Structure 1
Amino acid sequence: MKYYLVAGEASGDLHGANLMKALKERDAQAEFRFFGGDLMLAEGGSLVKHFADMAYMGFFEVATNLNAILKNMKFCKEDIAAWQPDVLILIDFPGFNLKIADFAKKQGLLVCYYISPKVWAWNQKRVLKIKKIVDHLFCILPFEVDFYKEWGMKVDYVGNPLLDAVAAFKPDEAFFEHHHLSPSKKIIALLPGSRKQEILRLLPPMLSVTEKFSDYQFVIAGAPSFKKEYYDQFLDEKKIPVVFNATYDLLTHAEAAIVTSGTATLETALFHVPQVVVYKGHPVSITIARMVIKIRFISLVNLIMDSLVVKELIQQDSSAENISAELENLLHNKAYRQQMLHNYDLLDEKMGKPGASAKTAELIIKYTQKR
């Protein structure tokens, strides 16, 4: 069968790649065409557009890049119509993908949506639109099933694909050697995000605390869509290494982490690394978000647990002083650190077992064959 996938950011590329692998295992004739990234490309098929050219986050950022977004959207619609897939698989990225779903549904295509749009966070009435334009919705967060049920929509809960990625991970036994790190110094991981605007706003305050923790070595998890030279502009004279395609290895060895809000917060928790979550957006975007968003937390860890498991430092709170204070607690306050690790154990229980990619692949094939 012909599968067209649309992923617009690094996490979508990861989940899309794992889903493609699972589909190939069940469909020897699988053909893929997609918007995505390097991980999806490694699974085969045709990469139409890289997510690095698409990832805009925040109301202000989207508004100022609207022409580029609309151009990408038009190109995507034309390409889907020309290729005529058996099924369209949309992965998260709702601002873009819900428009594509609307188009595809009108074209008579089967529309599957993997990783539910976070409509529970704001403008919940969008569920009514989703019911009309999405044939099958696959949720990865436990509380989403009840939310959609309240709106009269049946969804499939498949578990969380990050569990698949973590389970499939094979540590690099020579990680320290390969990246010229000191095996005698404990690591503090810096995860500044995968988007340029995130790195611009969050890497500088992350780096501002490094001198206060000279007994540790700080290591930056580089985004695959950037090169080492991009990060050099933030480092000045600081000799802080940047590792690429090795985030899980970095988390395996990290004593603590400073993490940009997003998928990485959950990944860090699954590796049981104590963390502080930071986020900075454009002031206009944050002002609008605070008016319309209906959730208490921004990090996935806290959302899933419905409690403050990890500290969230947003906007002006993500200062060097506040980050340093929280990092001090994570590293040297034994009771504080142990409580977070205990909460991670509870998170593991709530998350369940791996298998989201396999379950989603089986359901997509079943629903496609039943048409």
Structure 2
Amino acid sequence: MKYYIIAGEASGDLHASNLMKSILRKDPEAEFRFWGGDLMTSVAGTEPVKHYRDLAFMGFLEVAKNLRTILKNIKICKNDIELYQPDVLILVDYPGFNLRIAEFAKTLGIKVVYYISPQLWAWKEGRVEKIKNYVDEMLVILPFEKEFYRKHQVDAHFVGHPLLDAISDLPAIDVQKFKEEHHLNGKEIIALLPGSREQEVTKMLELMLSVRPFFKDYQFVIAGAPSLPKEFYQKYVDDNVHFVSNKTYDLLRCSKAALVTSGTATLETALLNIPEVVCYRSSRISYEIGKRVVKNIKYISLVNLIMDREIVTELIQQQLNTDNLVRELKLLIEGHGRQKMLDEFELLRQKLGGRGASDQAADIIVKG
């Protein structure tokens, strides 16, 4: 069969590439045409129609400034799908773009599969109508999403979380070798995951690094974002603060604990079995707007949302200060909180369905 896949972000490239591998095992004659990144390229053996680097516009102002480019990309995509005539269109998250393409594909009679749901349960719930009208198969990766869609008369399939597959496939790591390769000292590591956008990273690192005087027996290592140059991080680096780029999973696996800015990284850290404190602070205006836009959400971390209770501490806005960070980090390193959190992480993995999300998704897609 011919598969057309659209992934507009780095995480989508990872999960779509694993899905493609599973599809090939079930359909060895599969042909792929795609929008994505290097990981999808390595599976397909062909270049993407567009790389996700050319699609990643985040925030209202950036989208507004690049609206002409976005509309041009949508037109290119529609024309390309019409020429390729795939048997199935697979959309991976990236809702602003993908829902428009879903609507177009339905006019051509092409089967539409959505893999990894947009977070409609948090905001823009009205988009469920588009899912209902234009998507033939909805494949969700969070257990509560199935019930959310059922409430809206959409029969979604829970296939498990693809991060479990990605993490389970990691080779064993030699901690000492990792430290030597990245010129780290012999102390145990506290990993810092401050986000990916410059303004966010600056704000979060200043707060995270404020705990240093209380943890002199540890070294702090910043997980660099691929979107920011190495030079940006140099002002934070010294004898006991280091920087590692594009090795976040390896860094976490070599760490005692982590301070993590809210997002997918909170779930990745938990699935790698590293105790964490979740950190979030934005401007007061942005936070107040966000509270009104995001509906019925009790937590900001995926870990707590999935478990429907607080198993990782969330320090939000004014709660995110040095005293609270020090207290919570000490509990994870020295106190009873460490083992308790690790036990909860095991329950989290069970709730996410174990391994096999890519295979379960591929089964549904290939069998039609």
- Matched with 2:8 is 8
Let me know the Cα RMSD of the aligned residues.
2.5
Greater alpha carbon shift after TM alignment, 338-347 vs 270-279: 338-347
CA contact (8 A) 1:113 1:138 kept: yes
CA contact (8 A) 2:19 2:359 kept: yes
Quick one: which amino acid aligns to residue 15 of structure 2? H
Greater alpha carbon shift after TM alignment, 251-260 vs 187-196: 187-196
- Matched with 2:274 is 273
CA contact (8 A) 1:52 1:225 kept: no
- Matched with 2:154 is 153
The alpha-carbon distance between structure 1 residues 226 and 29, as it changes in their structure 2 partners (threshold 3 A), is farther
The alpha-carbon distance between structure 1 residues 75 and 47, as it changes in their structure 2 partners (threshold 3 A), is same
Greater alpha carbon shift after TM alignment, 145-154 vs 76-85: 76-85
CA contact (8 A) 1:265 1:300 kept: yes
CA contact (8 A) 1:60 1:282 kept: no
In 1, Cα distance between equivalents of 2:50 and 2:324: 39
What secondary structure sits across from 1:113 in the alignment?
strand
CA contact (8 A) 1:189 1:251 kept: yes
In 1, Cα distance between equivalents of 2:52 and 2:200: 15
What secondary structure sits across from 2:49 in the alignment?
strand
The alpha-carbon distance between structure 1 residues 336 and 99, as it changes in their structure 2 partners (threshold 3 A), is same
What secondary structure sits across from 2:291 in the alignment?
helix
What secondary structure sits across from 1:365 in the alignment?
helix
In 1, Cα distance between equivalents of 2:103 and 2:18: 25
Quick one: which amino acid aligns to residue 263 of structure 1? T
- Matched with 2:38 is 38
**Percent identity for Structure 1 against Structure 2:** 55
The alpha-carbon distance between structure 1 residues 16 and 293, as it changes in their structure 2 partners (threshold 3 A), is same
- Matched with 1:202 is 204
Quick one: which amino acid aligns to residue 304 of structure 1? I
TM-score after normalising by structure 2: 0.88
Where does 1:35-114 land on structure 2 (aligned, <5 Å)? Answer: 35-43=35-43, 44-59=45-60, 62-63=63-64, 65-114=66-115
Where does 1:179-258 land on structure 2 (aligned, <5 Å)? Answer: 179-182=182-185, 184-196=186-198, 198-232=200-234, 234-235=235-236, 237=238, 240-258=241-259
What secondary structure sits across from 1:187 in the alignment?
strand
CA contact (8 A) 2:197 2:228 kept: no
Where does 1:213-362 land on structure 2 (aligned, <5 Å)? Answer: 213-232=215-234, 234-235=235-236, 237=238, 240-281=241-282, 284-294=285-295, 295-332=297-334, 334-362=335-363
Deviations 1:317-338 (A, max 9, x none): 4444543443233223x12223
Unaligned runs of 5+ in 2: none
Quick one: which amino acid aligns to residue 303 of structure 1? L
The alpha-carbon distance between structure 1 residues 280 and 45, as it changes in their structure 2 partners (threshold 3 A), is farther
The alpha-carbon distance between structure 1 residues 48 and 220, as it changes in their structure 2 partners (threshold 3 A), is farther
- In the TM superposition, residue 273 of structure 1 has moved relative to its aligned partner by 1.1
- Matched with 2:367 is 366
What secondary structure sits across from 2:154 in the alignment?
coil
CA contact (8 A) 1:187 1:253 kept: yes
Deviations 1:76-105 (A, max 9, x none): 333333433322211112222222222222
Greater alpha carbon shift after TM alignment, 344-353 vs 254-263: 344-353
Greater alpha carbon shift after TM alignment, 311-320 vs 265-274: 311-320
Deviations 1:140-199 (A, max 9, x none): 1111112211221111111111110111111232322222223x3111111233455543
Greater alpha carbon shift after TM alignment, 297-306 vs 5-14: 5-14
CA contact (8 A) 2:219 2:240 kept: no
- Matched with 2:29 is 29
CA contact (8 A) 1:31 1:45 kept: no
